[in-house]
Chains A and B, each alone.
Chain A
Amino acid sequence: MLTKNQKQSLTRFLRMATSIVLFLVAWEIVSRLGLVHPSLFPPPSRVFLALIEMARTGELARDVRASLWRAALGFVFGGAAGIAIGLLTGRLKKVDNYLSPLIQLFRPLPPVAIIPLVIVWFGIGEVSKVFSIAFAVFFPVWINAHLGACEVPLTFLWSAQTLGVKNVRLLWKVIFPAALPFAVAGLRTGVSLAFIMVFVSELAGASAGIGYQISVSYLAYRVDRMMAALAVLGLFGAGADFLLTRLAWLAFPWLKLAAQR
């Protein structure tokens, strides 16, 4: 017998699955009607076969591994820097005065625009890709952590003050957790950007990765493989956001309680 919560989860899953299945069925029908040449607009069944082919040859595993590794590294570096600097600019007036104008100057730059420059600096290897991803992830995480640190309720700070908690201990024990819901919101934006940037940076030059796979499939005019790679990218992007939220809830159970309120 299912509990009320399990029933709600099942209903939610069925609704989501229904919309995806309906989308795939509609796509299959439209594609098979022959309005567009199947090479240009292959049905999902053919895209799936292309995916199987990529998996069998080992390309899929190689590309997924390469892209995920780059996205993860860039995300960790950009996210960690964003949180650390955001907490400091959010709480320390002097650090804010020195750093925030500089960060605000860089923030409106489209991350994609720095790729040519980064390639000139670091070459076409892994460093340039990870740097580009970290650059993109940094800004949304920084602004959220900064705002979170600015908005720590005074009563939290005053309570800590009366209990003799100050300086680094205050930053770690009060300001960081108080700003965490904001930082997690920034990280969720950052994870999407990491997947956008991994794709773009691989288009600019790579020998493996999902972006690379899309690029070579384009040159070979294999739209089915392009679509298969895009589907994989989308799946991992959505999965990463899901995983990030669950990991945050696991590490900080009170965040889940706050989200449910």
Chain B
Amino acid sequence: MIDGVHIQVEGLRVRYGEKEVIHDLSFSADRGEFVAIVGKSGSGKSTLLHALAGFIESQGKILMPGDVGMVFQNYAVFPWLTVRGNLAFGLHGSNAHQRDEIVARLLEMTGLAEEAKKYPAQISGGQAQRVALGRALATDPEVILMDEPFGALDMYTREKMQSWLLDIWEKEHKTVLFVTHNIEEALFLSDRVLVFGQGKILREYPVSLPRPRVESLKFEGNFIELKRQIVETMERA
């Protein structure tokens, strides 16, 4: 792998029966880079993440660290565990003291210390998604794969969650692959946007917007211009 490159994918192909849904796809991501993958609904962008995580069979070369955290759109927090139980779920290799320390840190990070004893059915969607991200970060993975994590949230909560995610990312600096169909979200969060369509990457857009990012950025000229270009690329597809 080239120095600094954390994820390298070459000639990736995924088939569902006779149909090939990802064709000869190649891209890379640097260590600590936040890469967003945007595409229309049903374009196969989630399939790409599932292939990278090893959930489904694929052909081609995938070079990435073995420890990967995953966050799904439907949260996938376990309803039978409390917030604390969910956060501690992956910590079966740690002793009780380490586990308590990590969970306390994650509760603070997610702002859910007061909800620690609650079950997912007793918290909001935004809080459940924070639990899901906290759980994914518990084992300190090098890479986080996020599959439309805010897709089920209302606009207000979604925006709050985006800012919260950026805060976490600034501190943890994990390599993130973030799949979304929301172009604004992709631009607001990422260092680079890969436009995905027809089973391949159509084009990539570096996002050189300053960090830390604030909501007002979404109304600035270069943000709007980038958004227009991405929309055009997606529409042409």
Cβ 8 A contact of B90, one of A158, A163, A180: A163
Which of A165-205 touch B at CB < 8 Å? 165, 169, 173-174, 177-178, 180
Which of B62-87 touch A at CB < 8 Å? 68-70, 72, 74, 76, 78-81
On whether the beta carbons of B80 and A254 are closer than 8 Å, the reply is yes
Tell me the complex Cα distance, A164–B69, Å.
Answer: 10
A258 within 8 A of B: yes
Tell me the complex Cα distance, A156–B75, Å.
Answer: 9
B interface majority secondary structure: loop
On whether the beta carbons of A162 and B68 are closer than 8 Å, the reply is yes
Chain B residue nearest in CB terms to A174: B78
Tell me the complex Cα distance, A252–B139, Å.
Answer: 27
A interface majority secondary structure: helix
Chain B min CB distance to A228 (Å): 43
A19 within 8 A of B: no
Tell me the complex Cα distance, A173–B136, Å.
Answer: 17
On whether the beta carbons of A153 and B76 are closer than 8 Å, the reply is yes
A155 within 8 A of B: yes
Chain B min CB distance to A163 (Å): 3
Tell me the complex Cα distance, A62–B173, Å.
Answer: 70
A109 within 8 A of B: no
16 inter-chain pairs at a CB distance below 8 angstroms, sorted by A residue, are A153-B74, A156-B76, A158-B50, A159-B132, A162-B53, A162-B68, A162-B70, A163-B135, A164-B90, A164-B139, A165-B92, A174-B78, A254-B81, A254-B119, A257-B119, A258-B121
On whether the beta carbons of A156 and B122 are closer than 8 Å, the reply is no
On whether the beta carbons of A257 and B122 are closer than 8 Å, the reply is yes
Chain B residue nearest in CB terms to A177: B80
Which of A128-157 touch B at CB < 8 Å? 153-156
Tell me the complex Cα distance, A155–B138, Å.
Answer: 18
Enumerate chain A residues within 8 angstroms of B76, measured Cβ to Cβ: 153, 155-156, 158-159
Tell me the complex Cα distance, A132–B74, Å.
Answer: 44
Which 4 residue pairs across A and B have the least CB separation, nearest first? A163-B90, A155-B76, A177-B80, A257-B121
On whether the beta carbons of B55 and A163 are closer than 8 Å, the reply is no
On whether the beta carbons of B74 and A155 are closer than 8 Å, the reply is yes
On whether the beta carbons of A159 and B119 are closer than 8 Å, the reply is no
Tell me the complex Cα distance, A82–B123, Å.
Answer: 33
On whether the beta carbons of B80 and A180 are closer than 8 Å, the reply is yes
Enumerate chain A residues within 8 angstroms of B136, measured Cβ to Cβ: 162
Enumerate chain B residues within 8 angstroms of A173, measured Cβ to Cβ: 89
A261 within 8 A of B: yes
Tell me the complex Cα distance, A155–B70, Å.
Answer: 9
Interface contact tally, CB-CB below 8 A: 64
On whether the beta carbons of A158 and B121 are closer than 8 Å, the reply is no
**Beyond A257-B121, A257-B122, 12 additional pairs, beta carbon < 8 A:** A153-B76, A156-B78, A158-B70, A158-B72, A158-B76, A159-B70, A159-B135, A161-B54, A162-B68, A163-B89, A164-B139, A177-B80
Tell me the complex Cα distance, A203–B26, Å.
Answer: 73
Enumerate chain A residues within 8 angstroms of B69, measured Cβ to Cβ: 162
Chain B residue nearest in CB terms to A173: B89
B212 within 8 A of A: no
On whether the beta carbons of B72 and A252 are closer than 8 Å, the reply is no
Tell me the complex Cα distance, A154–B121, Å.
Answer: 19
Enumerate chain B residues within 8 angstroms of A261, measured Cβ to Cβ: 121
On whether the beta carbons of A165 and B89 are closer than 8 Å, the reply is yes
Tell me the complex Cα distance, A261–B139, Å.
Answer: 32
A116 within 8 A of B: no
Chain A min CB distance to B67 (Å): 8
Chain A min CB distance to B198 (Å): 25
Chain A min CB distance to B18 (Å): 22
Which of A231-261 touch B at CB < 8 Å? 252-254, 257-258, 261
B210 within 8 A of A: no
Tell me the complex Cα distance, A178–B79, Å.
Answer: 8
B93 within 8 A of A: yes
On whether the beta carbons of A254 and B72 are closer than 8 Å, the reply is no
Tell me the complex Cα distance, A70–B19, Å.
Answer: 57
On whether the beta carbons of B122 and A159 are closer than 8 Å, the reply is no
